[in-house]
Amino acid sequence: MLKYLLLLFIIWLAWRVYRVSRQRLARRSEAAPSAPQDMVQCARCGTYLPRSNALTDNLDPGRCYCRDHAPASHNKP
C-alpha cells in the first residue's frame, strides 16, 4: 500500500514541477514587446531609420540623415 502512495506522490510531484516550468516559460514569452520606435527619413536617400540611429545636421536640425549620408556638421539627436 505504501508503495502505491509513494508512486502517486512521485507522479504528483513530477506533474507540479512540469506545471511550474510551463508557467515560467509562458511568463518569459509574455515579456513586454519593445515600444514602437519613431521612424525618420534620410534627407538624401529617403531610407527610413529609427530616430535613435538617425543623425541630424547642426545647421538644420529638422533634417535627419542615415550614417552613409551624415553631413560634416552632424549631431546625434
Contact residues toward Zn ion (CB under 5 A) are 42, 44-45, 66, 69
Least gap, CB of 73 to Zn ion (angstroms): 16
CB of 34 to Zn ion, least distance (A): 24
Collapsed DSSP state (helix, strand, coil) of residue 27: helix
Residue closer to Zn ion, measured from CB, 5 or 72: 72
Nearest residue (CB) to Zn ion, 37 versus 64: 64
> Is 65:44 a contact under the CB 8 Å cutoff?
yes
Residues contacting residue 44 through CB under 8 Å, at least 6 positions apart: 65, 66, 69
